[in-house]
A and B are shown apart, each in its own frame.
Chain A
Amino acid sequence: MIQRTVAELALPYRDPFVIQSFSFGIDEAGKPLSDGSDIDSFERSACFIAGLRGDEVQQTFVCARLVARLTEMEQAGLLAPGKLVMVIPCANPASMGIGWRFWPGDKTDINRMFPGYDKGEATQRVAAALFEHVSGYRYGVHFASFYLQGDFLPHVRVMHGPGSDGNNGADFGLPFVLHHVPGSFDTTTLHYNWRLWDTEAYSLYTKETELVDEESAENIVRSVLRFLNARGIVNWPDHRGYRSTQLGESVLVAVQTSTGGIFCPHVQLGDVIRKGHALASIVDPLNGSVKETLHAPCDGAVFYKARTPLVNEQTLAFQIVPPNVDDTSGSGIRGNFLDPEA
């Protein structure tokens, strides 16, 4: 294993901002990667990155466990010779260290700065340095979080674009592969730019963000190893996991509030529900009366659930994935990758 600094930036009145990477591989002679190895002779096979936002603690935890597991596997000779795997567990330690989601100086989002600009503002420079190191890999996986405050069932998200394929995400063996049509706000994300520059990119969503869930983290690590095994990068036979349900984003049925109040959910992520099932109550914060009961508009399973105690009118409270939606075409939705506004 080689540990490297991939980006460094001075911070005012703080220790420098340093992003560390961990690279794993075994050469043709069976020797694990070390500081003297010719890393450029390895094929850039898979890259994993987490913690672009400072509150993505679960994602960083997943990557940290992946580093620990790959360290053991490299020593045990379980990596395919000549294949390089790089992990960046925490791409934004400056924000994570102070409990902020975005950049401490100007609240900008590194994941809205790709491919970066090395002469620009701080987060543009960080994105540029990161992108230089994470590009050129065959596969790229970003452990991501959603901008709305809620939890998903663990799933793989694939952006429609060059090289995307309905079955791309199935090798992770997670229950769902969600096909996302990029919008204008996606064009500066790592996922979009990876795909634009020929890396087969995936975003993995785990159950938590700010909190650590060990069981969910372990399941995600296993799914990553399952993927690497399927692609011939590690020798780590495991059962195949789930036969993933493929769905386009538009298939998900949104349940939104029509009033504001205290959000009291009656169901959990993954619960199978029938049409009409009471999903949550919206309670008046002053007199305790139920202002609204949210009902399931269809049969299905709870795919997304808001986690805020307070909700506004029109808050996305749940997303339901209906049964029998397996659709490898992404429900027929095809956006224009190079010009999402077209």
Chain B
Amino acid sequence: MRIEVSARELATGEKLRIVKSRFAPEGAGNDQIDGLPRACVVTGIHGDELEGQLAAYELARRLRENPQCLTGVVDIYPAVNSTGIGAIERGIPQFDLDMNRVFPGNNSASPFESMAAELIADVKGAAIAFDIHSSNVFLRELPQIRVNEVSAEDLMPYARRANADFVWVHGNSTVLKGTFAFSANAMGVPTLVVEAGVGLRITPGVGEQLADGMLAVLSDVGIWNGPVPHVRTPIVSSDGEVSFVNADVAGVFVPTVEFCREVQEGQLIGRILDCGNGEVLQELVAPVTGLLFTLREYPIVYPGSLIARVLGGLR
């Protein structure tokens, strides 16, 4: 069932909408639904992040094919920044505004801030929420859950079951307070931030992997009583074990290693090239031995551009 969560009229009469698809136990009336545990799957807050599309499809497909296994409610919001997705824009077209910086929103402010507030109000009361992002267009990421250390105690039981390869527990100082996940967690909805793949693309296998994990968590919170896929045990790490590799020069980056592989300290990760001169401007090496879980995908780099992240301290 499709439900309109929020809508505003655009200049030409079209409605800008946030829509959700609701999956509920067969035959459940509204009164019964209100008393059931609910999960929210939110994706497309950034219009250039599409990995959540296949994850949403895979979850919706399984729920649709097995309605008898639903013991609670699942709301899927597939395209929060719908015009951004259509326009191939990360932010909200017209304003260059990053929607994931305006939460919890404000009902009396601009249309987009008030729509953010209506989304938050709609999610309120859920037993669990997933905020599925891709990486941006610049980086490829191993499927991972990001958890604010402040919420770690509450979220880790879910994060471990979400079938991610990696759970990154962030320091509180690096967490942005205008995000959907921060606001949702702050109002008591345990919310997992999922980062996976790369912007503007759908990586084969990632959607299925995330859908498996969501089903496992739905089972844990009493929303799904069907078969639970086998889920992997994630690596759990804090900021201190993650090392960053940044460019020092401008140029064209070409990797020399494969993504998601173990690298040795000092191993060449890639080169930044001056293509017109046939010259190598910088060679980038792994700062520690560990798992290369982030790798630059977009070749043009500036000084400071993130090239890679390596998770050290692994046995």
Contacts and interface: CB of A to CB of B under 8 A. Distances in A.
**A-B interaction:** yes
Interface string B276-315: 0000000000000000000000001111111000000000
Interface stretch (B71-79, B106-114, B142-150, B222-230): B106-114
Interface string B151-171: 000000000000000000000
Nearest to B8: A313
A106 B186 CA distance: 29
A122 interface: yes
Given A101-B96, A105-B300, A315 B110 contact: yes
B304 A120 contact: yes
B302 A260 contact: no
Interface stretch (B30-38, B60-68, B245-253, B257-265): B245-253
A231 interface: no
A260 B90 CA distance: 23
B177 A184 contact: yes
A208 B300 CA distance: 34
B97 interface: yes
A123 B11 CA distance: 34
Given A12-B300, A313-B9, A313-B111, A102 B96 contact: yes
Contacts of A260: 8-13
A310 B16 CA distance: 15
A34 interface: no
A131 B178 CA distance: 23
Interface string A249-265: 00000101001111000
Interface residues of A, number: 40
Contacts of B178: 184-185
Contact of A148 (B8, B11, B95, B300): B95
B246 A262 contact: no
B242 to A, nearest CB: 14
A260 B176 CA distance: 32
Given A107-B90, A184-B178, A185-B101, A254 B306 contact: no
A9 B300 CA distance: 15
A119 B246 CA distance: 8
A286 interface: yes
B10 A12 contact: no
B90 A122 contact: no
A286 B13 contact: yes
Interface in A1-51: 9-12
B9 A125 contact: no
Given A9-B302, A12-B301, A310 B96 contact: no
Contacts of B136: 106
A185 B96 CA distance: 15
Contact of A122 (B8, B186, B303): B303
Contact of B302 (A12, A102, A315): A12
Given A12-B250, A148-B110, A311 B302 contact: no
Interface residues on B, range: 35 or more
A295 to B, nearest CB: 18
Nearest to B306: A121
B177 A105 contact: no
Interface in A119-167: 119-125, 147-149
A147 B305 contact: no
A315 B108 CA distance: 10
Interface string A289-324: 000000000000000000000111111100000000
Most-contacted residue by chain B among A105, A148, A316 (CB, 10 A) = A105
B105 to A, nearest CB: 11
Interface in A85-130: 101-102, 105-107, 112, 119-125
Nearest to B302: A122
B249 A312 contact: no
Contact of B111 (A112, A149, A286, A312): A312
B57 interface: no
A314 B101 CA distance: 19
Contacts of B12: 260, 285-286, 310
A316 to B, nearest CB: 6
Contacts of B302: 9-12, 105, 121-122
Most-contacted residue by chain B among A9, A260, A311, A316 (CB, 10 A) = A260
Contacts of A314: 8, 110-111, 114
Nearest to A11: B250
Nearest to A148: B110
Interface in A64-97: none
B309 to A, nearest CB: 13
A262 B12 CA distance: 8
Interface in B167-187: 176-178, 186
A215 interface: no
A119 B248 CA distance: 9
A314 B304 CA distance: 39
A341 B183 CA distance: 10
A218 to B, nearest CB: 30
A185 B101 CA distance: 7
Contacts of A122: 302-305
Most-contacted residue by chain B among A11, A184, A185 (CB, 10 A) = A184
Given A11-B250, A12-B300, 12 more contacts: A106-B138, A107-B91, A107-B96, A120-B304, A123-B304, A124-B304, A147-B97, A148-B95, A184-B177, A184-B178, A185-B178, A285-B11
29 contacts: A10-B249, A10-B303, A12-B252, A12-B301, A12-B302, A101-B96, A105-B300, A107-B96, A121-B302, A121-B304, A122-B303, A122-B305, A125-B304, A147-B97, A184-B176, A184-B178, A256-B108, A259-B9, A285-B11, A285-B13, A286-B13, A310-B11, A311-B11, A312-B9, A312-B16, A313-B8, A313-B9, A313-B10, A314-B110
